[in-house]
Amino acid sequence: MTEEKTDLRILRTRRLIMDAFISLSEKKEFNDIRITDITEEAMVNRATFYYHYNDKYDLLEKVLSEVLLFNLDTNAIHQMAWGNQVVIELFTAVANFQNTLSSRCHRGYEETIARIIREHVASILYPLLHKENPAKEEALLRHMAAILSWTIYGASMEWKKSNVSPEAFIRPLLPFILHRLDT
Protein backbone atom coordinates (compact mmCIF):
# COMPACT_ATOMS: atom_id res chain seq x y z
CA MET A 1 0.00 0.00 0.00
CA THR A 2 2.78 2.48 0.84
CA GLU A 3 4.46 1.78 -2.50
CA GLU A 4 1.36 2.93 -4.38
CA LYS A 5 1.26 6.21 -2.41
CA THR A 6 4.95 6.77 -3.07
CA ASP A 7 4.44 6.10 -6.77
CA LEU A 8 1.54 8.54 -6.92
CA ARG A 9 3.56 11.22 -5.13
CA ILE A 10 6.49 10.71 -7.47
CA LEU A 11 4.20 10.96 -10.49
CA ARG A 12 2.54 14.08 -9.07
CA THR A 13 5.90 15.74 -8.37
CA ARG A 14 7.20 14.95 -11.85
CA ARG A 15 3.99 16.35 -13.32
CA LEU A 16 4.38 19.56 -11.27
CA ILE A 17 7.97 19.99 -12.48
CA MET A 18 7.06 19.26 -16.11
CA ASP A 19 4.08 21.62 -16.02
CA ALA A 20 6.26 24.34 -14.48
CA PHE A 21 8.83 23.87 -17.21
CA ILE A 22 6.17 24.01 -19.96
CA SER A 23 4.72 27.15 -18.44
CA LEU A 24 8.14 28.79 -18.27
CA SER A 25 9.00 27.74 -21.83
CA GLU A 26 5.98 29.72 -23.04
CA LYS A 27 7.53 32.87 -21.58
CA LYS A 28 11.29 32.38 -21.85
CA GLU A 29 13.95 31.00 -24.14
CA PHE A 30 15.23 27.60 -23.00
CA ASN A 31 18.70 28.99 -22.25
CA ASP A 32 17.17 31.61 -19.95
CA ILE A 33 15.27 29.10 -17.82
CA ARG A 34 17.11 28.32 -14.58
CA ILE A 35 16.54 25.41 -12.22
CA THR A 36 15.53 27.98 -9.61
CA ASP A 37 12.80 29.25 -11.95
CA ILE A 38 11.48 25.71 -12.41
CA THR A 39 11.55 24.84 -8.70
CA GLU A 40 9.84 28.09 -7.73
CA GLU A 41 7.15 27.61 -10.37
CA ALA A 42 6.61 23.97 -9.32
CA MET A 43 6.88 24.81 -5.61
CA VAL A 44 9.48 22.12 -4.97
CA ASN A 45 13.03 22.41 -3.69
CA ARG A 46 16.21 21.90 -5.72
CA ALA A 47 16.92 18.52 -4.14
CA THR A 48 13.50 17.29 -5.27
CA PHE A 49 14.19 18.52 -8.81
CA TYR A 50 17.56 16.72 -8.91
CA TYR A 51 16.02 13.58 -7.46
CA HIS A 52 13.83 13.34 -10.58
CA TYR A 53 16.00 14.95 -13.29
CA ASN A 54 19.73 15.28 -13.93
CA ASP A 55 19.45 18.83 -15.23
CA LYS A 56 17.18 21.01 -17.35
CA TYR A 57 18.30 19.18 -20.52
CA ASP A 58 17.12 15.89 -19.05
CA LEU A 59 13.83 17.56 -18.13
CA LEU A 60 13.49 19.01 -21.64
CA GLU A 61 14.02 15.60 -23.18
CA LYS A 62 11.47 13.93 -20.91
CA VAL A 63 8.87 16.65 -21.50
CA LEU A 64 9.28 16.48 -25.26
CA SER A 65 9.18 12.68 -25.23
CA GLU A 66 6.00 12.69 -23.18
CA VAL A 67 4.30 15.19 -25.49
CA LEU A 68 5.28 13.14 -28.55
CA LEU A 69 4.14 9.87 -26.99
CA PHE A 70 0.84 11.53 -26.13
CA ASN A 71 0.35 12.16 -29.87
CA LEU A 72 1.41 8.62 -30.85
CA ASP A 73 -1.02 5.76 -30.22
CA THR A 74 1.69 3.10 -30.39
CA ASN A 75 -0.66 0.26 -29.47
CA ALA A 76 -3.00 1.08 -32.35
CA ILE A 77 -0.08 1.50 -34.77
CA HIS A 78 1.44 -1.84 -33.76
CA GLN A 79 -1.88 -3.56 -34.53
CA MET A 80 -1.76 -2.31 -38.12
CA ALA A 81 -0.08 -3.98 -41.05
CA TRP A 82 2.86 -2.09 -42.54
CA GLY A 83 1.70 0.28 -45.26
CA ASN A 84 -0.01 3.56 -46.07
CA GLN A 85 -2.10 3.82 -42.90
CA VAL A 86 0.93 3.34 -40.62
CA VAL A 87 2.83 6.11 -42.38
CA ILE A 88 -0.22 8.39 -42.29
CA GLU A 89 -0.73 7.75 -38.55
CA LEU A 90 2.94 8.31 -37.70
CA PHE A 91 3.22 11.39 -39.87
CA THR A 92 0.02 12.90 -38.46
CA ALA A 93 1.23 12.34 -34.90
CA VAL A 94 4.62 13.91 -35.67
CA ALA A 95 2.97 16.85 -37.48
CA ASN A 96 0.60 17.42 -34.54
CA PHE A 97 3.59 17.27 -32.19
CA GLN A 98 5.43 19.84 -34.32
CA ASN A 99 2.30 22.01 -34.34
CA THR A 100 1.95 21.77 -30.56
CA LEU A 101 5.57 22.80 -30.06
CA SER A 102 5.48 25.76 -32.40
CA SER A 103 3.52 27.81 -29.90
CA ARG A 104 5.74 27.13 -26.92
CA CYS A 105 9.20 26.19 -28.12
CA HIS A 106 11.85 28.61 -29.16
CA ARG A 107 15.23 28.50 -30.80
CA GLY A 108 17.61 26.03 -29.27
CA TYR A 109 15.17 23.13 -29.14
CA GLU A 110 15.47 22.04 -32.79
CA GLU A 111 18.20 19.40 -32.51
CA THR A 112 16.69 17.83 -29.40
CA ILE A 113 13.22 17.79 -30.95
CA ALA A 114 14.53 16.22 -34.16
CA ARG A 115 16.43 13.51 -32.30
CA ILE A 116 13.49 12.65 -30.04
CA ILE A 117 11.11 12.40 -33.00
CA ARG A 118 13.47 10.22 -35.00
CA GLU A 119 14.26 7.91 -32.08
CA HIS A 120 10.62 7.39 -31.12
CA VAL A 121 9.44 6.90 -34.69
CA ALA A 122 12.27 4.42 -35.40
CA SER A 123 11.43 2.47 -32.23
CA ILE A 124 7.81 2.20 -33.41
CA LEU A 125 8.77 1.30 -36.98
CA TYR A 126 11.27 -1.45 -36.15
CA PRO A 127 8.77 -3.99 -34.77
CA LEU A 128 6.39 -3.28 -37.66
CA LEU A 129 9.15 -3.84 -40.20
CA HIS A 130 10.28 -6.96 -38.36
CA LYS A 131 6.74 -8.36 -38.32
CA GLU A 132 6.44 -7.67 -42.05
CA ASN A 133 9.95 -8.97 -42.93
CA PRO A 134 10.90 -11.59 -40.28
CA ALA A 135 13.64 -13.09 -42.46
CA LYS A 136 15.59 -9.84 -42.83
CA GLU A 137 18.60 -9.15 -40.63
CA GLU A 138 17.98 -7.10 -37.50
CA ALA A 139 20.66 -4.55 -38.44
CA LEU A 140 19.08 -3.99 -41.87
CA LEU A 141 15.62 -3.53 -40.33
CA ARG A 142 17.01 -1.05 -37.79
CA HIS A 143 18.66 0.91 -40.63
CA MET A 144 15.38 0.89 -42.55
CA ALA A 145 13.51 2.14 -39.46
CA ALA A 146 16.09 4.90 -38.94
CA ILE A 147 15.93 6.05 -42.55
CA LEU A 148 12.12 6.02 -42.53
CA SER A 149 12.11 8.00 -39.29
CA TRP A 150 14.35 10.64 -40.92
CA THR A 151 11.94 10.68 -43.88
CA ILE A 152 8.90 11.21 -41.68
CA TYR A 153 10.68 13.89 -39.66
CA GLY A 154 11.89 15.67 -42.81
CA ALA A 155 8.41 15.53 -44.31
CA SER A 156 6.99 17.08 -41.12
CA MET A 157 9.45 19.97 -41.44
CA GLU A 158 8.26 20.55 -45.01
CA TRP A 159 4.63 20.22 -43.92
CA LYS A 160 5.12 23.08 -41.43
CA LYS A 161 5.63 25.37 -44.45
CA SER A 162 2.36 24.28 -46.06
CA ASN A 163 -1.27 25.18 -45.46
CA VAL A 164 -2.73 21.67 -45.76
CA SER A 165 -3.66 18.99 -43.28
CA PRO A 166 -0.98 16.44 -42.40
CA GLU A 167 -2.88 13.68 -44.22
CA ALA A 168 -3.38 15.78 -47.36
CA PHE A 169 0.34 16.55 -47.33
CA ILE A 170 1.62 13.00 -46.83
CA ARG A 171 -0.86 11.03 -48.96
CA PRO A 172 0.68 11.94 -52.36
CA LEU A 173 4.13 11.09 -50.96
CA LEU A 174 3.21 7.57 -49.83
CA PRO A 175 4.25 5.81 -53.06
CA PHE A 176 7.67 7.45 -52.79
CA ILE A 177 8.08 6.61 -49.09
CA LEU A 178 6.92 3.00 -49.43
CA HIS A 179 8.51 2.31 -52.83
CA ARG A 180 10.77 -0.73 -53.02
CA LEU A 181 10.75 -1.37 -49.28
CA ASP A 182 10.06 -5.03 -50.00
CA THR A 183 13.30 -5.70 -51.89
> Chain-wide mean pLDDT for the chain?
86
What predicted TM-score, i.e. pTM, was given to this entire model? 0.76
108: left (phi over 0), alpha (psi -120 to 50) or beta: left
Phi-psi region of 82 (alpha: psi -120 to 50; beta: other; left: phi over 0): beta
Per-residue pLDDT of 98-132, as tens digits, reads 877 655 555 567 788 888 889 999 999 999 999 98
pLDDT tens sequence across 82-94 = 889 999 999 999 9
